[in-house]
Amino acid sequence: MESWYRCYSFNFPAHLLLMLVLVITIGGNSTYGSERESKRTLQRSSETLTNRQSVSQDRPFYSYRNYRHTDTHKLHRIPSGRGLHFAKALTTEEIWYLMQRFAFGDWQDAERVILFLDDLGRVVEDMLQLYTGNEWVNDDRFLFEYEGDSQNPSVIIWQEWNEATSDWENLERDFIEYDEQGREVVIILEDWDGEDWEPWDRVEISYTNDDRYLEQLWYFWWGDEWDLDYRISWVYENGLLIERVDELWDGEDWWPEFRTVYEYDIDRECLRSGPCNLIVELMQYFDEDEEEWVNSFQTLYDYDDDGNEIESISQYWDEDDDEWFNLTRTLSAYDDRNNISEEIHQAWDGSDWIFSQRHSYEYDENDEMLVWLMETWENDQWRSVERFLFRGFDPTGIAGDDTGMPLRFELMQNYPNPFNPATTIRFSIPDQSNVTLEVFDVLGRKVALLLNEELSAGTYSHVFDANHLASGVYLYQLRARDQVETKRLLLLK
């Protein structure tokens, strides 16, 4: 079973982030003296910091570009593992996920990712498309190159679609080297300047004997050579990660910047057989004037008897009041197979926790995720916002539903609505039956017969072209067996 790669980014106060960016920029070689290059260096430094802070200890460093996964809708795009191959058989071209947003009382297609695989089951292209309301349009893509039969990509190219030229344009390119164990040991990141590839960052990675991060050395390209720039170190005790330290190189010495300290609920049993539950994750920055570590953020964790995380509370440190203040809280629930089934996100309003978002998950019999649903709390109720439907299914719904969602007799609101001259009507039926889909005017006169045939259980869509009708309100009706449902649509010409 594939797991999901989730990249957790550290959060830092804005003034500290800007300070670090300026230190990196000003401390560089005078080669970048022009205004254009200074701005470019500032931008690169900011993006480099984001990339560094997104590194997660217990997962491979490289999975496409880390900073690409800061948005919620990108979280489930990336399968885990150092090689982009799949234990579950996929076709040579398959939709990895379909993302929909809830609007006009129904789910509307928004984006999808299509994977293209070679004969060895390796991803050679990952393409993101956006839905405009009547067609899918390209947005961006990743291209993967491999050496021999290796399942690990050696080159990854990120491109975006240019509508003006109707062609793909380069953005970034990354070279990855591996050791004999298949671990990333050198990563070179390049930027496309419009005409040629320009080096950006170089990362050298070392590991402990049990395959965990030990050190990362970051080098910055200063026009004609790699300059040592940044270091991330991990410290372990009794097999547990207890500290991560980020340091900046000034040309002579290492200067501490940030650190994360980890505290666990430790007993003999967890040390012997594991795992030991993380209970406090403390993030601090280094005050150069006071020459001491200063609190910034912390996250507190709680678990059930099965070791599942059921609560996490994030807090920030107020230096004036010299105490911690609540920020957010996440409450998690699990199914009988210990798959996470629900996450409720709350925000602190100064006196109490208030609902913010709810995430729900559905799985198949193999514990593969099928559906991820996000809702927001509005007017004392949960409102659907967006959902991800995973694995290879037909996004148009013509071939029936293969998303893992339970089917029922349902006529969905047409989209767009109002419309001119065409709109899409979607519906689902729970079992095989003869189905009719008709359109009537407000006087009850039938103006169009859209469908009248035997259909198997599934979800379907039909495009209604009202070019021959006058503007106004119409009724469309779905009938299957003894069930009938009617909705209204509005044609505006």
162 and 80 belong to one structural domain:
yes
Residue found under tokens 């990855």: 176
Q: Which of 73-77, 116-120, 400-404 has the lowest average pLDDT?
A: 73-77
- Supply the pTM of this predicted model: 0.66
| CA gap 320, 317 in Å, rounded | 9
Model confidence at 27: pLDDT above 70:
no
pLDDT computed for residue 45 by the predictor: 38
- Per DSSP, which regions of 225-364 are E strands? 226-237, 240-249, 254-265, 277-287, 292-303, 309-318, 323-334, 340-348, 353-363
Residue 36 domain-assigned?
yes
Max mean pLDDT range (19-28, 89-98, 444-453): 444-453
- SS3 state of residue 327: strand
Residue 4 domain-assigned?
no
Cα-to-chain-centroid distance, residue 272? 35
Model confidence at 221: pLDDT above 90:
yes
159 and 131 belong to one structural domain:
yes
256 and 305 belong to one structural domain:
yes
173 and 40 belong to one structural domain:
yes
171 and 277 belong to one structural domain:
yes
147 pLDDT tier (thresholds 50, 70, 90): very high
- Residues with Cβ within 8 Å of 127's Cβ and at least 6 positions away in sequence, in order, are 113, 114, 115, 116, 138, 140, 141
217 burial level (CB within 10 Å; 0-12, 13-18, 19+): middle
Average pLDDT over residues 242-256: 95
196 and 86 belong to one structural domain:
yes
Higher pLDDT, 385 or 205: 205
CA nearest to 124, candidates 162, 93, 148: 93
CATH number for the domain spanning 452: value is: 2.60.40.1930
pLDDT computed for residue 7 by the predictor: 28
337 and 453 belong to one structural domain:
no
pLDDT computed for residue 51 by the predictor: 44
By residue range, what is the domain housing residue 339?
14-390
Number of domains, the chain: 2
Average pLDDT over residues 252-257: 95
- Contact between 64 and 80 under an 8 Å Cβ cutoff? The reply is no
352 and 444 belong to one structural domain:
no
Q: What is the pLDDT of residues 177-204, one digit of tens each?
A: 999 999 999 999 999 999 999 999 999 9
228 and 327 belong to one structural domain:
yes
131 and 205 belong to one structural domain:
yes
